Amino acid sequence: MPKKAEKQPKKIPKAPVLKIPQLLRGFKDILPAEQNFWRFICQTAENFSLGYGFSRIDPPILEEAGLFVRSIGKQTDIVEKEMFTFNDVAQGMVVLRPEATASIARAYISHGMFNLPQPVKLFYWGPMFRRERPQSGRQRQFYQFGFEILGEANPVVDAQLIAIVSNFFNQIGLDQISLQVNSIGCPDCRKNFIEELVNYYRAKRKMLCEDCKNRLTKNPLRLLDCKQPSCQFIKASAPQIVDWLCENCKTHFMKVAEYLDSLNIFYKLNPYLVRGLDYYTRTVFEVWPTEKEEGSQSVLGGGGRYDGLVELLGGRPTPAVGVSLGVERIILQLKQKEVAIPSKKAPDVFLAQIGDAAKIKAFNLYERLRQENILVAESFAKDSLKSQLDSANKLKVKYALILGQKEVMDGTILIREMESGVQEIIDFKKTVAELKKKLNHNNHQTPVV
């Protein structure tokens, strides 16, 4: 008899393998371990803005693409290669802001800030976006903060802004920075200089990188901003713009230098510094970690005058000056220099509870302590007193408050001094007052020498 065909076991379909979502290239999570650095920079920057009389402004992340094309310049690397631009059905071409100064100028016009007492001093903090190759200290989403002064042409405000930057870096412990300063003049006195510059570079065209060959005809001033080693070598003997300044621009720059000298701010005259944006006029400056660490990847920030920008965007003629600083690059320097920064204030008290009734009462006590600005930690999800006190020890709190069934019944609470282990029972209603007394006593004790 023929053999019966054996039944094949049913194949169990494999569960689909779910792909774990990955971070986009050039973007990063700012994890809790990093937040002390971010908090330190943000709080220091905000304190400086208040101390120097700046008001905070938060322009939107999304703007019309034309805003940056007109202000930064069509032939700049940012506009040609680096903007996140897309078409919005309702509003046309829009862009994730690559920088904030153009947005500040637009806001100045949009909200009629020329009617306010001048100058208008504005501070900002937030993310910027550039679709460039990610590098050390610069992602495709990166954070900047800045100070802008609109409505004042006096060179003293240029010097004041540079002084703010110098003082900021001293304050955070990066006192070895190099301030590079130059003047790129006004459109009138730049004409003859650019002609001389083009003649110089044209004779060396074969030695230029491809980008600089394009800049030679499209945007000659950007030749001095190239970071390629071969182009750096050529730049070393290029004409210097300070030799071509008109009398007004020369006087303005000499005044800036005079004010900086009077403040004992050390700076270096860099005759080839031009910055990478078209809206700059007259004073420009950059912050480098040290004079040895030159190049775009090490610049911590920069700024300068942009006297024609507001008018270019449709506003009335308005002189202005500003600076932006890169948060990630500053944090990178803090880490490399091993600068000690203040830690987040640790809790002074741990609230422990045992049992459901105690947990409910502890919930309410926690809110009272928080409202009284007493930093308190808890672990309400744990029921074991031992595990809760272990957590208190790890946090190195001064005191533990312990609520159990007996304390709930008696209307009391137990306070344990964690270092000595000494415990006392007090009236539950007096918890806040007693804690304040103990914490205040500890904070004002004379240290033993």
Is residue 118 domain-resident?
A: yes
Q: Is residue 447's pLDDT more than 60?
A: no
Structure tokens at 13: 């379909």
Averaged pLDDT for residues 160-171 = 94
Contact 311, 152 (CB under 8 A): no
Q: Residue 265 is which amino acid?
A: I
Query: 3-class SS at 359?
Result: helix
Q: What is the pLDDT of residue 4?
A: 58
Do residue 299 and residue 363 come from a single domain?
no
Query: What's the average model confidence in pLDDT over 271-275?
Result: 85
88 domain-assigned: yes
The reported pLDDT for the residue numbered 91 is 80
pLDDT tens-place string over residues 404-440: 999 999 999 999 998 888 999 999 999 999 898 888 8
**224 domain residue, yes or no:** no
Residue 445 has a pLDDT of: 47
CATH assignment at residue 387: 3.40.50.800
Q: Which domain holds residue 353?
A: 349-438
Per-residue confidence (pLDDT) for residue 296, from 0 to 100: 47
Q: Are both 64 and 144 inside the same structural domain?
A: yes
Q: What is the pLDDT of residues 201-251, one digit of tens each?
A: 888 778 888 778 878 877 788 778 777 777 878 887 888 888 888 999 999
Domain count, the chain: 2
pLDDT band at 20; cut points 50, 70, 90? confident
If asked whether residues 298 and 431 sit together in one domain, one would say: no
324 and 370 belong to one structural domain:
no
Question: Is residue 133 domain-shared with residue 50, that is, in the same domain?
Answer: yes
131 located within any domain: yes
Is the pLDDT score of 71 beyond 90? Answer: no
8 Å CB contact between 349 and 399: yes
Instruction: Give the span between the Cα atoms of 274 and 377, in whole angstroms.
Output: 52
Q: Does residue 354 belong to any structural domain of this protein?
A: yes
Q: What is the reported pLDDT for 323?
A: 96
Report pLDDT for 291: 54
Residue 353 pLDDT > 60:
yes
Residue 100: the pLDDT is: 94
Task: Clarify whether residues 274 and 410 are in a common domain.
Answer: no
Residue 2 is predicted with a pLDDT of 56
Burial 248-281 (b: 16+ CB within 10 A, else e): ebbebbebbbebbeeeebebeebebbbbbbbbbb
pLDDT for 448 beyond 50 = no
Q: pTM value?
A: 0.83
Q: Last residue of a domain, which of 310, 336, 362?
A: 336
Residue 303 belongs to a domain: yes
Residues 330 and 368 grouped into a single domain: no
State whether 40 and 163 are in the same domain: yes
- 179-193 pLDDT, tens digit each: 999 999 988 888 888
Find the CATH number of the domain harbouring 293: 3.30.930.10
Are 258 and 279 part of one and the same domain?
yes
Predicted pLDDT of residue 295: 47
Which alpha helices (H) appear in 52-186, and where do they start and end? 65-72, 77, 101-110, 155-172
Residues of the chain with pLDDT > 70: what percent? 93
Looking at residue 172, what DSSP letter applies?
A: H
pLDDT of residue 92: 84
Give the residue from 336, 365, 398 where a domain finishes: 336
| 146 three-state secondary structure | strand
pLDDT in tens, 314-326: 999 999 999 999 9
Domain check: are 256 and 362 in the same one? no
Last residue of a domain, one of 336, 365, 395: 336
Cβ-contact 50, 122 below 8 angstroms: no
- Quick check: is 52 in a domain? yes
| H, E, C per residue of 269-311 | ECCCCCCCCCCCEEEEEEEECCCCCCCCCCCCEEEEECCCHHH
What single-letter DSSP state applies at residue 61? S
254 plus 376 within the same structural domain: no
Identify the three-state secondary structure at position 150: strand
pLDDT band per the 50, 70, 90 thresholds, residue 327: very high
Residue 180 lies in a domain: yes
354 and 305 co-located in one domain: no
Report the Cα 243 to chain-centroid distance in Å. Answer: 36
Residue 73 has what pLDDT? 73
Average pLDDT of the chain is 87
